[in-house]
């Protein structure tokens, strides 16, 4: 099925020919080695859409999310999000997007309350209102409020990841970048997070860019899916379209057929 590209006003993310290369040297006298993390990636995400990027470790997913998060500078191509260009408009864009990464990065000695209040103040939010909103989100995610003042280091990874999601949503961003948000979570936490994201999308119309190597998660959450391999977007479409195109019974088989490789076969890239 042909997917027509919508007009620019409907686009939350538009990435065109995005390139990123990391230059490394193994020793002072060794020649500089180039590792291409992204080799000209192009895709778009409509407002309110959830777009899943699937790929094994080292395929360029995290590099792509970092560029969109304003944490990496691209070496080529263009990025436009919510009408803003990167890197020119990064300061304005930062107010409108939240990010959850695979490692729930917090000050581990501080409590969820302290971490979230710190994040809220960074974004200029009124602390009491932010605390109220954070509590609501955490309760929706199934975190008991009595744990709100315990140090984060005493909490499970699932709990930490839920707090990370609450942090990203404190500012009620129209755009959410999720970099493997459920990797390493127990099945219940994974279901909690996925259900919450579905609810969020329905309630707020949040645009979500989700990277994952969990086929079932991509199929459940994403309207459209892109297969990323070796820094290239090899195929994209709905889950059904991708399966049909590959003549495969499931998404994993479709991934193997269309990319020529299996998930989780490579080492992490920078």
- Under the criterion CB under 8 A, does residue 27 sit at the interface with another protein? no
Q: Which stretch binds another protein (CB under 8 A): 77-85, 120-128, 210-218, 243-251?
A: 120-128
Q: How far is the CB of 22 from another protein (least distance, A)?
A: 6
Pairing of strands 175-179, 207-212: parallel
Task: Kindly identify the residues of this chain, within the stretch 133-152, that bind another protein according to CB under 8 A.
Answer: 151
Name which of 8 and 129 has its Cβ closer to another protein.
Answer: 129
| Residues in binding contact with another protein, number by CB under 8 A | 34
Strand pairing partners for 210?
A: 52, 178
Task: Kindly identify the residues of this chain, within the stretch 211-240, that bind another protein according to CB under 8 A.
Answer: none
Q: How far is the CB of 73 from another protein (least distance, A)?
A: 5
- Under the criterion CB under 8 A, does residue 8 sit at the interface with another protein? no
Cis (ω within 30 of 0) for the bond into 87?
yes
- Among positions 40, 48, 84, 118, the unique one binding another protein when judged by CB under 8 A: 118
Q: How far is the CB of 69 from another protein (least distance, A)?
A: 6
- Positive or negative torsion for Cα 58, 221, 181, 83: positive
CA–CA separation, 206 and 40 (whole Å): 27
- Under the criterion CB under 8 A, does residue 61 sit at the interface with another protein? no
Name which of 161 and 259 has its Cβ closer to another protein.
Answer: 161
| Residue labelled with tokens 């195109």 | 245
Which residues does 165 contact at the CB level (< 8 Å), separation at least 6? 100, 137, 141, 181, 193, 196
Which residues does 114 contact at the CB level (< 8 Å), separation at least 6? 107
Here the tokens at position 251 are 């998404």
Which residues does 164 contact at the CB level (< 8 Å), separation at least 6? 100, 101, 104, 105, 106, 181
Name which of 108 and 132 has its Cβ closer to another protein.
Answer: 108
Task: Kindly identify the residues of this chain, within the stretch 79-108, that bind another protein according to CB under 8 A.
Answer: 91-92, 94-95, 99, 101, 103, 105-108
Residues of this chain that interact with another protein (CB under 8 A) are 22-23, 63, 66, 69-73, 91-92, 94-95, 99, 101, 103, 105-110, 114, 117-119, 121-125, 151, 167, 270
């Amino acid at each position: 099925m042909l997917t027509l590209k919508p007009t620019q006003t409907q686009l939350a993310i538009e990435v065109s020919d995005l390139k990123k290369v990391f230059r490394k040297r193994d020793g002072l006298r060794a020649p500089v080695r180039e590792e291409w993390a992204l080799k000209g990636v192009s895709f778009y995400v409509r407002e309110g859409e959830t777009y899943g990027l699937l790929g094994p470790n080292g395929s360029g997913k995290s590099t792509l999310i970092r560029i969109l998060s304003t944490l990496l500078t691209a070496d080529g191509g263009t990025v436009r999000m919510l009408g803003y260009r990167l890197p020119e408009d990064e300061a304005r864009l930062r107010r409108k997007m939240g990010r959850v990464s695979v490692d729930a990065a917090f000050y581990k000695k501080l409590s969820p309350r302290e971490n979230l209040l710190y994040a809220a103040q960074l974004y200029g939010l009124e602390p009491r209102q932010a605390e109220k909103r954070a509590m609501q989100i955490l309760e929706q995610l199934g975190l008991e409020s009595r744990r709100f003042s315990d140090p984060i280091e005493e909490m499970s990874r699932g709990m930490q990841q839920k707090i990370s999601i609450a942090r990203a949503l404190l500012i009620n961003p129209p755009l959410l970048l999720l970099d493997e948000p459920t990797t390493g979570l127990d099945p219940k936490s994974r279901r909690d997070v996925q259900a919450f994201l579905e609810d969020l999308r329905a309630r707020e119309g949040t645009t979500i860019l989700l990277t994952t190597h969990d086929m079932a998660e991509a199929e459940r959450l994403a309207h459209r899916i892109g297969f990323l391999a070796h820094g290239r977007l090899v195929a994209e479409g709905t889950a059904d379209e991708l399966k049909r195109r590959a003549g495969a019974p499931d998404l994993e088989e479709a991934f193997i057929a269309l990319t020529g490789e299996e998930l989780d076969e490579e080492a992490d890239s920078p």
